[in-house]
Chains A and B, each alone.
Chain A
């Protein structure tokens, strides 16, 4: 387990109330964890524990047993987590500091103190991988929102973290770009075994990629597990995507559907499959008496 937290509680400095209450959470390599919950439920606060921004940047009181990449965030400052935990914030503009894409990618690596050849190799690789090569001399304000967020992710991923925390990474993006960004994250979890913790409100955008869903309410984790099952149990909290409603009605109407994942794409596929199977059976039925 790369992340292990048990009985974690936290309160901001000067506050009597605990924002996170008795949270138990574990995550393994390669997981894509979708963290959802109503606004103000403590998702972003929870995410900031992963790299020690809480308690080092925000202060306050953090209790419980916590281990991220083998380190306790209370004992190790945030810059020590930089190598292991990549953090992408909601607004890409606030996390891009340089006037060229290339320098932006190199920044984190410079902070790690890597030799120039290694920095150069990784920067070139990231430019190719994240389709930023043509933009290498551009300034962040000359990039579109999607390109900025792609750069923000690339500049974090270039440090090769084992855990990637994304705090509403697609809030400023259109649905199509949002899907492309999350697909990129999913690829990293499959190919490199990165653990992704993604806070996202738009279920239809994130569900195709999530392997696990965690629901947080009032600073507590109220559900955790397979996305389809979690949605079925927590639809009063997370809402129910219309595609899933369709599945329910079709099943009620007698169609046998096996939905692998609760995303519109998977559901469409399983309906097509069920339809084909039904057609095949009907044809056999018609053919057999003659």
Chain B
């Protein structure tokens, strides 16, 4: 349930939020690309620090720190596996790989953390992706909280009839969750049919080319942002 709540996007009013989502995508992709290119510990750390600095500017430092913390165990495993079975003998290469994993997760979550589903769909539309796909993205984000409520409702219905989901042996618990999944899937299939009906009733699927109410337009500040990013990349590569 908590995992589903994380999908609720919270709008903030910061420099980063106001930037064009395309610029934010560029920033995240650039950081990720630099991380793939860089071969030293310092450079990987620099990328992680940059991501944290941007997150701080977007008032989401705590959330990004949380993402990095959640990625730590996997990163430790990458380190251990490479150290034990990797081609080299030194500690540097495994450490770079472990840090690269952290840098990649930090830079990519930075984008998803600061971009609302609506902005994401506008971004996809600006990349000339057909509307069906951008709607798919928008609607999956939109229906996550609804799904969370449905899960809760089915769980309460089961609990009120005496089923304790979190008790018993592992096999028992897995079986209990089957009781949850069957009505939930049936319910969601019905819900998706009703949504499809409503979409058609509002003219979706017409062969006529849909117009756009909102379109992405780059502002002066966005070009400034890109210039800054370019300077950062040049400096990074020169180091």
Contact = CB atoms under 8 A, between A and B. Distances in A.
Interface in A132-147: 137, 139-141
Contacts of A77: 205
A119 interface: yes
Contacts of B209: 113
Interface string A99-114: 1101100111111111
A78 B214 CA distance: 25
Contacts of A89: 194, 197-198, 201
Interface stretch (B67-75, B141-149, B154-162): B141-149
A99 B198 contact: no
B135 to A, nearest CB: 7
Contacts of B135: 97
Interface residues of B toward A: which range? Answer: 20 to 34
A113 B208 contact: yes
B199 to A, nearest CB: 7
Contacts of A111: 202-204, 206, 208, 210
Given A111-B206, A114-B211, A57 B195 contact: no
A115 interface: yes
Contacts of A113: 206, 208-211
Given A110-B212, A111-B204, A111-B206, 13 more contacts: A81-B201, A85-B201, A91-B194, A94-B195, A97-B199, A99-B138, A103-B214, A106-B214, A107-B202, A113-B211, A116-B211, A116-B212, A141-B146
Interface of B: 9, 11, 116-118, 135, 138-139, 141-142, 145-146, 191, 194-206, 208-214
Interface of A: 51, 53, 56-57, 77-83, 85-87, 89, 91, 93-100, 102-103, 106-116, 119-120, 123, 137, 139-141, 155-156, 159
30 contacts: A57-B197, A78-B200, A78-B205, A79-B200, A79-B206, A82-B206, A89-B197, A93-B146, A94-B194, A96-B142, A97-B142, A97-B198, A99-B142, A103-B213, A107-B202, A109-B211, A109-B213, A110-B210, A110-B212, A111-B204, A112-B208, A114-B211, A115-B211, A116-B213, A137-B11, A141-B145, A141-B146, A155-B202, A156-B201, A159-B202
